[in-house]
Structure 1
Amino acid sequence: MNNSAIGKFNVEKITVQQEQQLTNIQHYIECALKSGEHHIVVIEGQAGTGKSVLLTKLFQRLKAGATLKGSPYYQKQCVFTVNHPELLKIYQELGRQLPGIYKKDYVRPTSLINDCHKTKKMYDIVLVDEGHLLFTKPEPYIRFTQENQLSEIIKLSRVVVVVFDFKQVMQTKMFWNKPLLDKVLAPYKHVFFNLDFQYRMQASQATIEWIDGLTNGQILPLPSNRGDYDLRIYSRAYDLYEAIKQRNIEVGLSRMLTATGFTRGPHDEHTVRMDDFNQPWDELDAQPTPWAERSESITEVGSIYTIQGFDLNYAGVILSPAFEYDATTDSIVVNPDKVTHTEIYKKTPRIQSEQEMTAFKSQVMFNTLNVLLKRGIKGLYVTAADPQLRKRLLEL
């Protein structure tokens, strides 16, 4: 594998299954372009199922066809949007590498919407990665004043192709579930394509099922057949970190990750502390190199804000103090009182009752865990800040 996050978009090596999906999607798009109506293609799939690769290959074909007389995409206006600043950097870098695609072809949703409203522009095709990160409420501070970004994008394009994974919904301002998506799609022609094969983790099916269980709070026996996937549970975060640093020396792209739940230090330091491990959180900044590719990020701890959508070779994951062990059910539960990043729980008209909000808080944390645990291609190293949970995991 290319020791760069760009390597995740190796569109020259798509599988037979992916090629068949692409053929079906392209056929739908070509028919939709002739109809004169708005159409939406929804690509569903969990973390690691190749959604971004599929979307990138599709974009490459659409842009190539736009310059070829006789192509169904000839002179069609096409743009790619993603509401994730770190992932946008990857795509914009990709635009410098793939023929016929440019940095300007990748934009944030708010920029796309506001520019179209200003210029009265209408796109033929808009591709949306990480659709579950689109806003479902106004966010005036970033100049999004409408109610729903997907609804606005649909109005501004003849065909929208959008990727969705409800297990990667992370905040109330990006609140998505199946009923809401169905409501947004209802006025328009639409079709669903489902991706269900795990491409990222080079692991046995039993190992994938064990990780899937953990993302739902289940504690299952460690599988005896793990294939070549390096799955380990550690008693100390410091020892886990030492192993991740060694993997980073050997193969690169190995990083520490965790979720919200760690309190600030005595001098208000924004750090992750457990036993002898004490490292700062990731730093979002404007430099073009994404967090995972920066050499200095080996001394930091990544979060969903810097790692969502990325591949790592090895992921070292600390289950934060918000994840606790429930001995009665022999499962992992979320303690919302220990969630320190309250931005994810802001009020939204999409959630009316306290009961719904409590359920949402728990689900968001498990969604976060789902993203973190499924970053590693070659291996996953795990420990837990909660002593009882750590003890239970070590018993496995």
Structure 2
Amino acid sequence: MTGRLFGQGEVGSSDLIREAAKRAGAKLLEYELDAQFRCSGSDGFINWVDNTLDIRRTANVLWKREDVYEFRVMDSVQELEHAIRQKAAEGSARLVAGFCWPWSNPNGDGSLVKDVQVGTWAMPWNAKPDAGHLGAGIPKSNFWASDPGGLEQVGCVYTAQGFEFDYVGIIFGPDLRYDWEKNIWVGDKKHSFDSVVKKSGDRFVDLVKNTYRVLFTRGIKGCYVHFMDEGTRKFFQSRLE
């Protein structure tokens, strides 16, 4: 059994599962997984993301638009939300974003603050893990990925990691952008609200890249992205064929 990331309140290991099966008198079948079935099982897409974000060099420089795994660049966050809601009606889908906005505590009435703002569009982050009273229909953070109410919030990387959806919609924020003149990725700490990453010194850019890598690889069937920075959008589109 390969390892996986567990959310808050979850525990798990091969030994624990074996012990539980033994106590229950259940037959246990074990399989060795060579890879996670994320991104339609496409190592090519993950390799392309790694190469495009300059995390590591791979042979996957260009991504074919007609590939079975669907990757789309959305012109607006409204278009992105609409597409994800359509996919959620057919299966599972969630919106996620880079950590470019504050993550507020719930309001006194249990409602969530609409922290994630792009122009006139706004939506709250998922509830914090330690959130107390929440309003009706707002799931706790560990149920954000499965509860229908989670579609009304944007997932941050710390909540989304370890979960997969049929489709993921990403708001690629201004904390990371591609500099065409220098041909490098540039980080912008003033647009980051991740307190741990902001204190990482020279590792800031690498850690933000990894944040987006995690978000890009949450989708099983497809990944839709809205880029807030025009230069970054053009760079990603230059890597499509």
Q: Confirm or deny: 8 A CA contact 1:217 1:331 kept in the other structure.
A: no
Return the alpha-carbon distance in structure 2 between the equivalents of residues 288 and 331 of structure 1: 35
The CA deviation at 1:246 is 0.3
- Is 1:255–2:78 an aligned residue pair? no
Return the alpha-carbon distance in structure 2 between the equivalents of residues 217 and 327 of structure 1: 17
Larger Rg: 1
Aligned match of 1:294: 147
The CA deviation at 1:225 is 7.0
Over the aligned positions, Cα root-mean-square deviation in angstroms equals 3.4
Structure 2 vs 1, CA of residues 331 and 384 (structure 1 numbering), >3 Å: closer, same or farther? farther
SS of the residue corresponding to residue 63 of structure 1 reads helix
TM-score, normalised on structure 1? 0.46
- Is 1:282–2:116 an aligned residue pair? no
Which of 59, 75, 85 pairs up with 1:245? 85
Structure 2 vs 1, CA of residues 318 and 224 (structure 1 numbering), >3 Å: closer, same or farther? same
The CA deviation at 1:242 is 0.7
Structure 2 vs 1, CA of residues 235 and 57 (structure 1 numbering), >3 Å: closer, same or farther? same
Structure 2 vs 1, CA of residues 288 and 303 (structure 1 numbering), >3 Å: closer, same or farther? closer
Unpaired segments ≥5 residues, structure 1: 1-21, 23-49, 69-98, 101-193, 347-356
- Is 1:51–2:51 an aligned residue pair? no
Aligned match of 1:209: 47
Q: Confirm or deny: 8 A CA contact 1:207 1:225 kept in the other structure.
A: no
Q: Confirm or deny: 8 A CA contact 2:176 2:185 kept in the other structure.
A: yes
- Is 1:366–2:186 an aligned residue pair? no
Within 5 A, what are the aligned runs for 1:159-174? none
Aligned match of 2:189: 336
SS of the residue corresponding to residue 324 of structure 1 reads strand
Return the alpha-carbon distance in structure 1 between the equivalents of residues 19 and 38 of structure 2: 25
Structure 2 vs 1, CA of residues 227 and 320 (structure 1 numbering), >3 Å: closer, same or farther? same
Structure 2 vs 1, CA of residues 62 and 264 (structure 1 numbering), >3 Å: closer, same or farther? closer
Structure 2 vs 1, CA of residues 243 and 207 (structure 1 numbering), >3 Å: closer, same or farther? same
Return the alpha-carbon distance in structure 2 between the equivalents of residues 360 and 200 of structure 1: 27
The one-letter amino acid of 1:233's match is V
SS of the residue corresponding to residue 145 of structure 2 reads helix
SS of the residue corresponding to residue 52 of structure 1 reads coil
Aligned match of 2:221: 378
Return the alpha-carbon distance in structure 2 between the equivalents of residues 288 and 320 of structure 1: 22
Return the alpha-carbon distance in structure 2 between the equivalents of residues 246 and 230 of structure 1: 15
Return the alpha-carbon distance in structure 2 between the equivalents of residues 224 and 274 of structure 1: 29
Q: Confirm or deny: 8 A CA contact 1:238 1:275 kept in the other structure.
A: no
Could you give the per-residue CA deviations for residues 84-128 of structure 1, whole angstroms, max 9, x where no partner exists?
A: xxxxxxxxxxxxxxx79xxxxxxxxxxxxxxxxxxxxxxxxxxxx
- Greater shift in the superposed pair: 242-251 or 57-66: 57-66
Higher helix share: 1
Structure 2 vs 1, CA of residues 201 and 62 (structure 1 numbering), >3 Å: closer, same or farther? farther
Could you give the per-residue CA deviations for residues 347-388 of structure 1, whole angstroms, max 9, x where no partner exists?
A: xxxxxxxxxx42222222122112111111111111211222
Which of 28, 35, 41 pairs up with 1:197? 35
The CA deviation at 1:234 is 1.5
The one-letter amino acid of 1:302's match is G
The one-letter amino acid of 2:222's match is G
Return the alpha-carbon distance in structure 1 between the equivalents of residues 72 and 64 of structure 2: 12
The one-letter amino acid of 1:294's match is D
Within 5 A, what are the aligned runs for 1:299-310? 299-310=152-163
Relative contact order higher in (CA < 8 Å, ≥ 6 apart): 2
TM-score, normalised on structure 2? 0.72
The one-letter amino acid of 2:206's match is Q
Return the alpha-carbon distance in structure 1 between the equivalents of residues 35 and 70 of structure 2: 20
Unpaired segments ≥5 residues, structure 2: 6-11, 105-112, 133-139
Structure 2 vs 1, CA of residues 331 and 345 (structure 1 numbering), >3 Å: closer, same or farther? closer
Return the alpha-carbon distance in structure 2 between the equivalents of residues 196 and 320 of structure 1: 33
Structure 2 vs 1, CA of residues 62 and 359 (structure 1 numbering), >3 Å: closer, same or farther? farther
Which of 272, 284, 290 pairs up with 2:116? 272
Structure 2 vs 1, CA of residues 60 and 254 (structure 1 numbering), >3 Å: closer, same or farther? same
Return the alpha-carbon distance in structure 2 between the equivalents of residues 299 and 342 of structure 1: 25
Q: Confirm or deny: 8 A CA contact 1:202 1:378 kept in the other structure.
A: yes
Q: Confirm or deny: 8 A CA contact 2:114 2:122 kept in the other structure.
A: no
The one-letter amino acid of 1:327's match is W
Structure 2 vs 1, CA of residues 312 and 58 (structure 1 numbering), >3 Å: closer, same or farther? farther
The one-letter amino acid of 1:362's match is V
The CA deviation at 1:283 is 1.0
Aligned match of 1:123: none
